[in-house]
Chain A
Amino acid sequence: MFDLQSALANARFDGIAQIRELGLQGMITLRGDVAAPVLKKAATAASGTAMPGQRKAVFSDTGGMAWMSPDELLILCPYAEVTDRLEALTDALAGTHALAVNVSDARAVFEVSGPHAREVVAKLCPVDLSPQAFSPGDFRRTRMAQVAAAIWADDDQTLRIICFRSVARYVFGVLSVAAQKGSEVGYFQAG
């Protein structure tokens, strides 16, 4: 057999926050009429969670589902399970106008953690990342420096970021600059 490679092989950087590339994550893009019962049923079965509301993400122990746009969801699951879950999802949607594809390899996932995690990301994204405005359960697609990214909060001090695989090194680079020693901002109050 052969080795599977994520974009940056769990690269990490320690500064005012800790940056980690999290390795391969199972991801399925599902496009369709998210209000249709058949799609809801198939999607929740694939993710093992409830449906997320607008700009929300919901998680379980083995999966998750995020609201990407009015006709797009992102289903998260362990990398090893993505083929099976996609197959089940595709079967459940047979005859329904929808598109479900495996995008696990097209992305990279980062974790930014520590007391200054929010500040680090707020140096790069035009989004109010104060604990009052952005809390666990929220999901935001935005611009990170010069590339597209999606962000959610695991807890008050842990943010996760998804970006395209090809720009993983760039995203790791800008996060590392933003987390450089001595660059604490001190703007956010506790949540």
Chain B
Amino acid sequence: MLILECPCCGVLADETELTAGGEAHLKRFGPESSDDEFEGYLFRRENPRGVHFERWRHSHGCGKWFHAARNTVTLEVYGTYSAQTTEPPEAIRQKISGVAPGWKWRLFK
């Protein structure tokens, strides 16, 4: 059972206080989008063995959404960060590069 630090209230939250929200940093495609774009947005998801970016909600706490960068194999948590961003902060990316050189993830490296 994971522990993630909620960046909104600072609690080291037990997984039972949290709700998982799937892959992070999806770009929304609306009415004008092509079938491929929309399919990608709605259905295509990363399922990496290793570095992953996820959305979580501190649902039994401050109620806020946040992002987590973690490793799906080792369960190492590289960091949690604001939900109000379209990509992970540089500091977290550097930290990941330090432990998992050569990592990549869809849009980021």
Contact = CB atoms under 8 A, between A and B. Distances in A.
A54 B17 contact: no
Contacts of A148: 60
In terms of DSSP, what is the predominant structure of the interface of chain B?
A: loop
A149 B17 CA distance: 11
A70 B9 contact: yes
B76 to A, nearest CB: 21
B8 A70 contact: yes
B89 interface: no
Size category, B interface: 10 to 19
A69 B8 contact: yes
B68 to A, nearest CB: 18
B44 to A, nearest CB: 32
In terms of DSSP, what is the predominant structure of the interface of chain A?
A: strand
A148 B18 CA distance: 12
A140 interface: yes
Nearest to A140: B11
B81 to A, nearest CB: 14
Nearest to A55: B9
B64 interface: yes
A68 B10 CA distance: 12
A143 B11 CA distance: 13
B17 A126 contact: yes
Contact of A142 (B10, B61, B64): B61
B62 A70 contact: yes
Contacts of B62: 68-70, 72, 141
Contact of B64 (A55, A69, A143): A69
A72 B64 CA distance: 11
A143 B19 CA distance: 12
A178 to B, nearest CB: 17
B64 to A, nearest CB: 6
Given A126-B14, A126-B16, A126-B17, A143 B9 contact: no
A69 B9 contact: yes
A141 B60 CA distance: 7
Contacts of B9: 54-55, 69-70, 141
A54 B60 contact: no
A126 to B, nearest CB: 4
Interface in A67-89: 68-70, 72
Interface of A: 54-55, 68-70, 72, 126, 140-143, 148
Those 5 A-B pairs whose CB atoms lie nearest each other, nearest first = A69-B62, A143-B60, A126-B14, A141-B61, A70-B8
7 contacts: A55-B9, A68-B62, A69-B8, A69-B9, A70-B8, A126-B16, A141-B60
